[in-house]
Structure 1
């Protein structure tokens, strides 16, 4: 507890030396901790700002308002569209760089309108060790201040601080942006983002906590945490998920028996934080598209 108290003192002292800060706020544990620290240090001179776009689930947007109210910090919402960028829609290994550049640029615009010079984000000391990180490149290029990283606060430390502030998101699972559900190389479109969001809504309604619906261009692959697999095999859920998700435009609906794995549609070189602030997910296995080839099931070639 002493180390947590010392860290809180160090970060708030640092933030208090600034005239004001705008926190890039996703409602995840990282940005919520930065918002809480900034609010303690600067009061009304700290603003939490959420960028609304097609890649942010509506449920997560509503969550940002609730968590900001819980913290007591002023909350603003700005809007932009990643789909205005052909580079983003191309969905290559640099997608997160293009997304975060646009998102944080929107934050800077909002900060300037309010006479604020410093934009903060929730990057923590555990993030740089996750391999190739195009999102972090954008943070560096735009000179974003990352107090958790600057004070060597790891992800575990972030959660400890969140518990110290009694934040409801202290143990919240990571939630990357909707585009992370689309395999690298498959174009990001509004149609795909919309049907992913609607498909995941049923899992959230059913009570699942850690999940993804991966969009394999006609196939919906449901991933849930290993300890939730039994619930996913419930006949009532299977029937509801199959019928509802198929109606969204998917030709096939499947349950991945490996369970939830971050970055399971991304190249092994792609980086991630797993938090919606960056939209990136941790590295994981590439899922082979078995529908690219013919796989006979009998020796005579019948199916």
Structure 2
């Protein structure tokens, strides 16, 4: 069995054959591991590049700067807007493909300016089997290099490598872009992205770690991890969420009793093009609306 140390040595040796590398850097554990490996292999000839747009929360952008400093890698930020694309705003089952195509294209522009030919991303060996992932097609079409996938590194192994590098993001939950909170078929707008970001900041302030606020055209559906559901039913949080999230422009605020589910508003692999979370015939109901009614009702439901 190959050790993590041997895996790191193997990937580092692979990356050393390039004159320079630019890493599509989101600040998540996958891209952070690629950045750490590239920095170990190439030093100043490796650059981490973050795409700033309306779909990236400001807190995540600041986090990328801190993590790049932690790794010691050069860091650049490129700005663009997915909302310039009609295909992206339409938010069909190919939204992630259009987004990834634009992001990687922006990365290649920066790479060319820096005299770099190779753009890497953080796709790992577990990603292709995780449901509807049209963004992976963009990676293939633009010929980005995925060292974690190339070396058959799974998500669990990525975290092991991150631990070896003492990265602060080792146990960071996955963080998809803000547009992933909008059900397939509902237009992505700056207004929706902004209120989602502000609503999630409220949950972050309350100490929740794994969560999403899904925007169902005026209805805010809160998902939290199963081990955080009890905290979401706390009456003080109920009052805060009901008031402050509603003030952002939502007509209703609900808690999904199924808890946090990855891609719950995206089409499933075996049913591409269908938004199962918003389909009225779905077996995946929104859940009990614990944030509607008077405080005594909410209190009774939380017991």
- TM-score scaled by length of structure 1: 0.89
1:130 deviates by 2.3
Q: Which residue of 1 aligns with 2:277?
A: 286
Could you tell me how far apart the structure 1 residues matched to 2:200 and 2:112 are?
36
Could you tell me how far apart the structure 2 residues matched to 1:124 and 1:263 are?
18
Q: Which residue of 2 aligns with 1:142?
A: 142
SS in 2 for 1:144: coil
Shift >6 Å, 4+ stretches: none
Distance change in 2, residues 1:226/1:132 (3 Å): closer
Could you tell me how far apart the structure 2 residues matched to 1:33 and 1:177 are?
19
1:129 deviates by 1.6
Could you tell me how far apart the structure 1 residues matched to 2:189 and 2:86 are?
11
Q: Which residue of 1 aligns with 2:191?
A: 191
Which has the higher relative contact order, 1 or 2, with Cα contacts under 8 A spaced 6 or more apart? 1
Q: Which residue of 1 aligns with 2:34?
A: 34
Instruction: Tell me, yes or no, if structure 1 residue 44 matches structure 2 residue 44.
Output: yes
Could you tell me how far apart the structure 2 residues matched to 1:236 and 1:49 are?
40
1:266 deviates by 1.4
- What aligned pairs does 1:174-253 form with structure 2 within 5 A after superposition? 174-253=174-253
Could you tell me how far apart the structure 2 residues matched to 1:9 and 1:24 are?
22
Q: Which residue of 2 aligns with 1:166?
A: 166
Q: Which residue of 1 aligns with 2:98?
A: 98
Q: Which residue of 2 aligns with 1:63?
A: 63
Q: Which residue of 1 aligns with 2:298?
A: none
- TM-score scaled by length of structure 2: 0.89
1:134 deviates by 1.2
Number of paired residues? 279
Q: Is the 8 A contact 1:23 1:121 kept in 2?
A: yes
Q: Which residue of 1 aligns with 2:125?
A: 125
Could you tell me how far apart the structure 1 residues matched to 2:197 and 2:131 are?
28
Distance change in 2, residues 1:40/1:284 (3 Å): farther
Could you tell me how far apart the structure 1 residues matched to 2:208 and 2:270 are?
26
Q: Which residue of 2 aligns with 1:10?
A: 10
1:285 deviates by 5.0
SS in 2 for 1:265: coil
Distance change in 2, residues 1:106/1:4 (3 Å): same
- Quote the RMSD (CA, aligned, Å): 1.7
